[in-house]
Structure 1
Amino acid sequence: MKKYRLAFIGMGPGGADWITPAAWQQIAAADYIYASARLQDTVEDALPAFSGFFSLGTKERTWRIFNGRLTTLVEPILDDLERGNVVVLCTGDTGIFSIASWLNRVISERLPQQPIDWLPGISSLQYLSAKLKRSWQNLRIISLHGREPEDLDEVFRSKEPLGIFTDPHHSPHWLATQLIEAGRGEAQMSCGYSLTYPEEEIVTGSVRSFLTSPEEETRLCLVIVSEKTSVEEQTPSPWEKGFAGGMPDHAFQRGNRPMTKSVIRSRLASLL
């Protein structure tokens, strides 16, 4: 008996241009596609432009539209896997606050031998960081989308740079009030609204400046809070300091005596 495959596909931050070629190929091979209404619209609107390039063809596919209640998806997915390949379209990247984690665990418990693939996508956090010309590797990443971590007050009072996924209740205005109370009113805050869509907007200012924003925000919104605001202000790597390899010059205690520079030490080591 043929074993049909299940795939969780990261669909990127929103716009069709940011969906990976691998994602389109998995969609092309699918018999059943689980997605939100927004992602269905994104895919169907883009099909004329992408169908030839990714050989999507005219294969008939069945859409299963869900409203975010994951518990309602399990039985239909299990039933559809008896008849064809199933893909679940996930916003952003499958590895960060994604529906893929919970569904993968539950379905694997029910069908231990079921082949499951994860395809990463471009996260809105990656996209916004690139727009701000900053790295995101040092961000403390939290999600307030339908949840509120128990240690949130501690997180806000820390001086760590933050990447925050929001929802309408946890708006930039709400975040500003909480951060000001935590003593971070003068930190820099950047809010990305409807990222990658035509109506995209990115607003940067002090935390305090967002007190004038709406108390509830219906647009998709991602927030980065940091004391440092640009690539130039972030800690440079050894290569950006001119470090050529091995131990950097400043690691040696030598008083006023001269020493061989790091570029020479690196060259001598390469000849050994």
Structure 2
Amino acid sequence: MLTVAGIGPGNTKYLTAQVVEAINSAECIVAFGRAGESIKALRSDYIKVKNVDEVYRYSLMKENVLILASGDPCFYGILEYLKNKDILVDEVFPGLSSFQYMMGKLKKSWHNSRFLSLHGRDESLEVAFNSPMTIILTDSTNTPRVISKKLHELGLRGSMYIGYNLSYKDECILKINIGEEIEDISSLAVVVVENEMD
């Protein structure tokens, strides 16, 4: 049985009760990157993996495998990749996405927002022109600094809220004007763009 579970933004207090139960009962836990580090207080016998092929290998070796992924595996997450590799997933336990956490911190509604993931993806920032708010997931290449510069070059005006290391002890949330220089504190970031639309 292969189960995929989202651990939320990272801090274990944002784990759902369902995911905690799955962590405690799984025969084998595989985790990507920081996801494994986040659950060490609950269980330290996880297997750190770097790619989906490793996940597939462990799913063939064990009967009860739990894959842990940051955020919500259904939102620009591991679930899509597993399906593209034709890996059968028996259950999915959603988690709190980093963008949901960020919007709660900002006390802003996100129901009319556009979503864009630049986390290992190549998508156009031009979608931000057509929405009053765009929520962007970043990576080590598409950083908040790069996004600010590119949006400014495209002629977009407005504000950017940047959340680094959300839910961790070193969490940092900043507000800048689009085009302002910013130091990239971490590759773990969520950017919320407020477009000054005419």
The one-letter code sitting in structure 1 at the alignment partner of 2:126 is: E
Q: 1:107 aligns to what SS in structure 2?
A: coil
- Partner residue of 1:101 out of 71, 80, 104: 80
168, 172, 180: which one aligns with 1:201: 172
The equivalent of 1:128 in structure 2 is 102
| Distance verdict in 2 for CA 1:218–1:201, change over 3 Å | closer
Normalised by the length of structure 1, the TM-score is 0.66
Asked if 1 retains the 8 angstrom alpha-carbon contact of 2:162 and 2:191, the reply is yes
The AA in structure 2 aligned to 1:225 is V
Alignment-derived partner of residue 252 in structure 1: none
Residue 67 of structure 2 aligns to a residue whose secondary structure is strand
Contact 1:191–1:221, Cα closer than 8 Å, also in 2? yes
Q: Which residue of 2 aligns with 1:178?
A: 150
Following TM superposition, the consecutive aligned residue runs of length 4 or more in structure 1 with deviations greater than 4 angstroms are: none
Equivalenced residue count is: 195
Q: Using CA pairs below 8 Å that are at least 6 residues apart, which structure has the higher relative contact order?
A: 2
AA aligned to 1:89 is: L
For residue 206 of structure 1, what is the amino acid of its counterpart? N
Q: 1:198: how far off?
A: 0.7
Structure 1 CA distance, aligned partners of 2:125 and 2:166?
Answer: 28
| Deviation string, structure 1 residues 77-111 (Cα, Å, up to 9, x no partner) | 12213xxx110001101210111222145222xxx
**Greater strand content:** 2
CA distance in 2, matches of 1:134, 1:71: 38
CA distance in 2, matches of 1:175, 1:120: 28
Check conservation: 1:8, 1:87, Cα contact below 8 A: yes
Aligned to 2:113: 139
Contact map agreement 1:32 1:86 (CA 8 A) in 2: yes
**Percent identity for Structure 1 against Structure 2:** 30
Alpha-carbon deviation of 1:62? 4.9
TM-score, length-normalised on structure 2? 0.90
Are residue 221 (structure 1) and residue 192 (structure 2) matched? Answer: no
Provide the aligned C-alpha RMSD in A: 2.0
Deviation string, structure 1 residues 191-231 (Cα, Å, up to 9, x no partner): 0000000110100121133x2x13x5534110000137xxx
Q: Distance in 2 between matches of 1:62 and 1:196?
A: 23
